[in-house]
Amino acid sequence: MKIAIIGAGLAGLACAGPLKNAGHNIQLFDKARGPGGRMSTRRAQTPAGEAQFDHGAQYFTVRDPAFQQLVDSWARDGVAARWPAAGEDAWVGTPAMNSPIKAMAAGQDIAWATRIDQLEKSSNCWKLLGEKANIDTLFDSVILAIPAEQTADLLSPVDTGFAAVAQESQSDPCWTVMLSFSEKLPTDQNILRNIGAIGWAARNSDKPGRTGLENWVVQASPAWSRDHLEETQEWILPTLIEALSQALGLNLPEPLHATAHRWRYARSDSADRTALFNRENGLGVCGDWLLGPRVENAWLSGTALSQHILDQ
Ligand code: FAD
């Protein structure tokens, strides 16, 4: 089968691997310029060199034995390591959070910077349409591995049943601030949780495999992010820097680099499903939001969908 997968985050890649290994022709499309999805890594130039931030998922945990096997193989390949500061069972990608995603993406055919805006059924096949996407290929099957809200938008005109499942799922937003300093901040606290506006803040440079500047990632709590969703970056940035300063009890030096990023759909809800597949029209759906907002769930969902398609 010719199968299109929209979204090359962990769920899309977890689904792509087994389908490709079984001999199917898989093409992935992702609106981002490179691998990571919500496990992405942001790089920035500062006067003191390049800074690097994990600006989505901060770490992940492992419960499922099959996922544990995969994570162990990532550790052997040097693309993941434990980060005990976040908890006994906490893992991160190394040297950056997107490293395991990069490794999984390496063997796949992925069209980056290609946003899909519409699905069109043409006889028994699917055509993908996007403002900048010139896609001639017709696909037997299309898999959506994107957040629930975006899934609902794409599916509403073509599969009202699956669209309804996605519509019921609502993600929490997350305002994130990334800061680089020329010197190590004088504190032993590497992680802060739930202090005022801050849901999480961490010294990114404390994670294994990171070198270079003193980098911090500050994530506002879901409630605070929702209340200030439409504020400007110019307001968010100093407000969260001040919140970090208060939480650490420090007068922060002028950062070398400071940016704010708004994740509109950061942590998903849970639809209490694993994955969806409509045998009649060939549409499949996977992603963390079917099971809940965890890296492991994205992998479980994508893997379950591939298994389901192969079983059929
Ligand atoms: P994604 O990684 O979002 O992948 C979807 C991909 O689809 C993206 O690459 C996107 O560019 C692409 N896309 C979307 N729409 C389109 C379109 N129309 N056309 C083409 N491409 C499209 N999890 C944890 O386990 N621990 C944590 O501490 C944690 N913290 C988090 C903090 C934040 C701020 C965020 C944002 C997430 C966090 N998560 C955490 C959640 C975790 O990152 C996700 O569960 C997981 O990465 C989801 O993977 P996914 O493949 O389902 O979706």
Q: Which residue's CA is the closest to the ligand 1 atom numbered 13? A: 7
**Span from the CA of 56 to the centroid of ligand 1 (angstroms):** 8
pLDDT tens track for 223-275: 999 999 999 999 999 999 999 999 999 999 999 999 999 999 999 999 999 99
pLDDT the model gives residue 231: 98
pLDDT the model gives residue 267: 95
pLDDT the model gives residue 134: 74
Band of pLDDT at residue 110, cut at 50, 70 and 90: very high
pLDDT the model gives residue 312: 86
Q: Which residue's CA is the closest to the ligand 1 atom numbered 47? A: 38
**Span from the CA of 293 to the centroid of ligand 1 (angstroms):** 9
pLDDT the model gives residue 63: 97
**Span from the CA of 266 to the centroid of ligand 1 (angstroms):** 7
**Span from the CA of 18 to the centroid of ligand 1 (angstroms):** 20
Does the predicted TM-score (pTM) go above 0.85? yes
Pinpoint the alpha helices (H) of 78-159. Answer: 99-105, 148-155
Taking the CA of residue 268 as reference, the ligand 1 atom at the shortest distance is: 45
Q: Which residue's CA is the closest to the ligand 1 atom numbered 30? A: 57
Residues in the chain: 312
pLDDT tens track for 13-33: 999 999 999 999 999 999 999
Band of pLDDT at residue 93, cut at 50, 70 and 90: very high
Tokens describing residue 11: 């769920």
Cβ–ligand 1 distance for 263 under 6 Å, the answer yes
Q: Is the pLDDT of residue 109 over 90?
A: yes
Beta-strand runs (E) in the chain: 2-6, 25-29, 41-46, 49-54, 80-82, 91-93, 110-111, 118-122, 125-129, 141-144, 172-181, 191-195, 198-203, 214-220, 257-267, 276-278, 283-285
Q: CB-hemisphere CA count at 13 Å for 284?
A: 33
Best of 15, 33, 38 for a ligand 1 pocket test (most atoms within 8 Å of beta carbon):
38
pLDDT the model gives residue 179: 98
Cβ–ligand 1 distance for 4 under 6 Å, the answer no
pLDDT tens track for 40-85: 999 999 999 999 999 999 999 999 999 999 999 999 999 999 999 9
What rounded mean pLDDT belongs to the chain?
96
Tokens describing residue 84: 């005990």
Which residues, other chains included, contact 106 with Cβ-Cβ below 8 Å and sequence gap of 6+? none
pLDDT the model gives residue 236: 98
Cβ–ligand 1 distance for 298 under 6 Å, the answer yes
**Span from the CA of 150 to the centroid of ligand 1 (angstroms):** 12
